[in-house]
Amino acid sequence: MLALIFNAVVLVVFLVCYFRDKDKSVHALRLSVRSFERIAPVFVVVILLLVFAQGLFSGDAVFAYVAGVSGLWGYLVAAFVGAIVHVPPFITFPIAGQFLASGVNPGYIAVLVTSLVMVHTFSIPIEVKELGLKFALVRNFLCLVFAIVIGVIMGVLY
């Protein structure tokens, strides 16, 4: 639904541009195709990784697994599971809400949610292609560490 609205907005922007300058807008489309072609081979790899990660674990299974661990170890497990597995945000939040209501440590949930949204192991090929290997590794590693820190603080404060 959101994707359709997004496409509609882009279409409107494109039409406005098109009426203002036809040649420039056609040139823009050519640039779109070129940038898509450039990233397409990497995209294939990422989609395969993504489908693989999705096929392995459903969102429910991920949260149930993390909820089953206890102690400080749970924060580490939540962070690493969240980094490797992919659950889209619109599926993450409803499931996270259920587990929060059922009494799972809010710290674990905060780590898992933060790590799921910020650390994307499977899309590292795209990140490397666009922004460089060092960028991708350092950003993902820092986000992983900070996800744990955020979760531990959340666990104390919530």
Partner 1 sequence: MKSSRVKGVFGVAALIAVILGCVMFPGYAADNSVVLSILLYLPGFFVLIGLFEAWVSRDFVVTHMGEKSGLKGSAYSFVMGCLIPGPLYLAFPLAGALLRKGISRFNIVLFIGAWSSFKVVEEIFELHFLGPRFLVLRVLLTVPFVIVVAFIVSKVCFDDK
Residues of this chain, 116-135, that bind partner 1 according to CB under 8 A: 117-118, 120, 123, 126-127, 129-132, 134-135
Binding track, positions 30-69, relative to partner 1; x by CB under 8 A: xxxx-xxxxxxxxxx-xxx-xx--xx-xxx----------
Among 25, 64, 69, 84, binds partner 1 (CB under 8 A): 25
CB of 68 to partner 1, least distance (A): 19
CA-to-CA separations, 24 to 12, 15, 29, 43, in angstroms, rounded: 16, 12, 9, 27
CB of 71 to partner 1, least distance (A): 21
Distance CA 156, CA 91 (A): 26
Question: Nearest 5°: phi and psi at 69?
Answer: -90, 155
Distance CA 4, CA 101 (A): 32
Interface segment toward partner 1; rule CB under 8 A; list 65-73, 75-83, 84-92: 84-92
* Residue 110 sits in the site that holds partner 1 (CB under 8 A): yes
Nearest CA to 62 out of 113, 18, 125, 21 is that of 113
Nearest CA to 113 out of 156, 136, 68, 146 is that of 146
Site size toward partner 1, by CB under 8 A: 79
CB of 79 to partner 1, least distance (A): 13
Nearest CA to 146 out of 114, 121, 123, 120 is that of 114
Interface segment toward partner 1; rule CB under 8 A; list 5-13, 67-75, 76-84: 5-13
For 108, the token pair is 């674990």
Among 22, 68, 70, 158, binds partner 1 (CB under 8 A): 158
